[in-house]
Amino acid sequence: MSRPQRYGIKFPFTTVSEENTLLDLSLTSEEEVRSELMHVIFTPKGQMLRNPNFGTSLIQYIFNPDDRQTWDDIIREIRDAVAANIPNCTIKDVQIREGEKPYELYAKLLYSVNDGVYITDYETITKL
């Protein structure tokens, strides 16, 4: 019986794994890129010692007004971070919307992944 291909550690990190590995692993390239996206978006810049430019500065927008200008800044921050840190992923569109509760923001990411042979489009929604 052949072992399934594993692509990397899922983000957010969990220790519950169906394959009895220490951390839960991505089993598809789609899961891997989604994990990479979440890792880049939710890591504050400067947190990684040997790569201080990895991540975003989204935390700086926490007390900014909830308006179109702030949303545009968040979109630009996400686009720049992904372009700099995930070379095989291209952000096509980022849409920001308010949640049902006050101060909730959601980002809908439309992106394409180039695996060297095919370019595949994906979509994910995450709470910021």
Residue 9 has pLDDT above 70, yes or no: no
Residue 119 has pLDDT above 70, yes or no: yes
> 109 falls in which pLDDT band (50, 70, 90)?
very high
> In sequence order, which ranges of 16-62 are alpha helices (DSSP H)?
29-42
CATH number at 42 reads 3.10.450.40
Q: Is residue 36 part of a domain?
A: yes
Q: Model-level pTM?
A: 0.77
Q: Who has greater pLDDT, 6 or 89?
A: 89
Total structural domains in the chain?
1
Nearest Cα neighbor of 120 from 41, 33, 9 is 33
pLDDT, tens only, 35-65 = 889 889 999 998 988 989 999 998 888 888 8
Structure tokens that stand for 114 in this block: 């180039």
Q: Distances in Å between the alpha carbon of 11 and those of 14, 24, 32, 62, 113? A: 8, 9, 9, 22, 18
Q: Is residue 75 part of a domain?
A: yes
Print burial letters for 45-58: b (CB count within 10 Å at least 16), e (below 16): beeeeeeeebbbeb
> Can you give the residue range of the structural domain that contains 92?
8-127
